Structure 1
Amino acid sequence: MKIAIGADHAGYRLKDDIVPMLRQLGHEIIDVGCSCADSVDYPDYAVPVCQMVAGGEAERGILICGTGIGMSIAANKTPGIRCALVHDLFSAKATREHNDTNVLAMGERVIGPGLAEEIVKVWIETPFSQGERHQNRINKVMALEDRQALHP
């Protein structure tokens, strides 16, 4: 799977821990940065990751900042993106099964690398359930997005 990943200054260390694990699992990684502790703005990294996912250049995206909150807010402004902020294994699985999320957000200041790697692995490996009730709900969310595009 091709996965785009980005982080700001508060999440780059966790990103740098996750990338080798993903490559070891056989995934192709597009790393959009950042790679330093110098203060940067999280939307500058969320936007390119989400554009790659929405445009089909990457199948999934992972975003990391201090809490994951800013990244998830920025990500969900991109049409076609369903980003979930996840800090536990149950949510990682549920958000794929029920919401067919295509972007995962996490916070480096909230969880450590061990748990983050487990979350990513579960999120990557869990398929969408294809359940009719879940698809109907996703369709309603996507319709909201379509209406917003017509009437900003």
Structure 2
Amino acid sequence: MTPSKHREDRDLVAEALVRAAAPGSQLVTPPGSRLTPLARDLAFDKGITFTTGRYAEPAGPVGPGGFRRRSNRIAVASDHGGFALKDQLIPLLKEMGERPVDLGPAAASPSVDYPDFARLVAAEVSGGRADFGIIVDGAGIGSAMVANKLPGVKAANCWNEASARNAREHNHANVLTLGSGHLDLAAARLVIAAFLTTDPGDDRHARRAKKLDAVEAEYLRTSQITAHFEEGR
């Protein structure tokens, strides 16, 4: 790709960025940037306006109220059934101003199993190396089960915008699992945008989320004590 072609593609304001913005907000775009037809129509429907600013790479994602927030490092992976959708999510997340890290697989081989790749994503979030994780398999259920085995991970299988917002606000989820058998790219885009732009709720939501942490901590302590005494036998 030539440098001019690269810049031309880079300065297109895509529909995904507009869809993630709050209605009535104002988006900052690079000088000379152009809206795609879908982005233009959606911006009109949502009452979104644009202002020109210095180009940043990448442009920060838009949070509630239209302000720009820090881009997130997002670990992404799939099994063989979710491979095609996962590959489409990587450029989508970049368009949204995020920093996706593709943990694989490199191909949709039948030997690619969801426990292996769900664990990779969960480990990045558990270890603090990623802000969020996204895992795609056929239904999104098995990957959530695997991810929730790791300390500090709250994985939620979401299938629409409402469930994604609930997972973040009520449950403080930090890993999103998607079912490629239930969601196409357009639907997944809405779920991801809702998940990433919803803040964890405070008050009663925070209190309940802390109880989730307490259950995990209790069983971790029990398993550590058991392991200690078994080693001493």
TM range, smaller chain: over 0.9
Q: For the residues of structure 2 that align with 1:34 and 1:145, how far apart are their CA atoms?
A: 30
Query: AA paired with 1:106?
Result: L
Q: Larger Rg: 1 or 2?
A: 2
- Rounded to whole Å, the distance in 2 between the matches of 1:51 and 1:85 is 17
1:81 aligns with 2:153: yes
The corresponding residue for 2:77 is 6
Give the counterpart of 1:49 among 92, 107, 121.
Answer: 121
User: Mind listing any 5+ residue stretches in structure 1 that lack a counterpart?
Assistant: none
Match for residue 91 of structure 2 among 14, 17, 20: 20
Q: How many residues align?
A: 151
SS in 2 for 1:87: coil
Q: Tell whether the 8 Å contact from 1:62 to 1:104 is kept in structure 2 after alignment.
A: yes
**Counterpart contact for 1:9–1:35, Cα < 8 Å:** no
What is the aligned counterpart of 2:103 among 13, 18, 32? 32
1:133 matched to 2:208: no
Q: Deviations over 1:77-109 (max 9, x none)?
A: 011000000001100111111111000001001
Bigger RCO (CA 8 Å, 6+ sep) = 1
Q: Which segments of 5 or more consecutive residues in structure 2 lack a partner in the other structure?
A: 1-71, 224-233
Counterpart of 2:116, as a letter, is D
3-state DSSP class of the match of 2:170?
Answer: helix
Deviation, 1:37, is 2.0
Deviations 1:55-89 (A, max 9, x none): 11110000110000110000000110000000011
Matched, 1:70 2:129: no
Runs of 4 or more off by more than 4 Å in structure 1?
none
Shift of 1:51: 1.1
Cα RMSD of the aligned pairs, angstroms, is 0.9
- Read off the aligned partner of 1:111 and give its amino acid letter: L
Which amino acid counterpart does residue 216 of structure 2 have in structure 1?
E
Q: Which residue is 2:193 aligned to? A: 121
Q: Percent identity?
A: 36
Q: Distance in 2 between matches of 1:2 and 1:27?
A: 7
| SS of match in other structure, 1:105 | strand
In 1: Cα distance, 2:200 partner to 2:211 partner: 17
Distance, in Å, in 1 between the alignment partners of 2:127 and 2:136 is: 20
TM-score computed with the length of structure 1 as normaliser: 0.96
**Does structure 2 conserve the Cα–Cα contact (< 8 Å) formed by 1:92 and 1:120?**
yes
Tell me the SS of whatever aligns to 1:104: strand
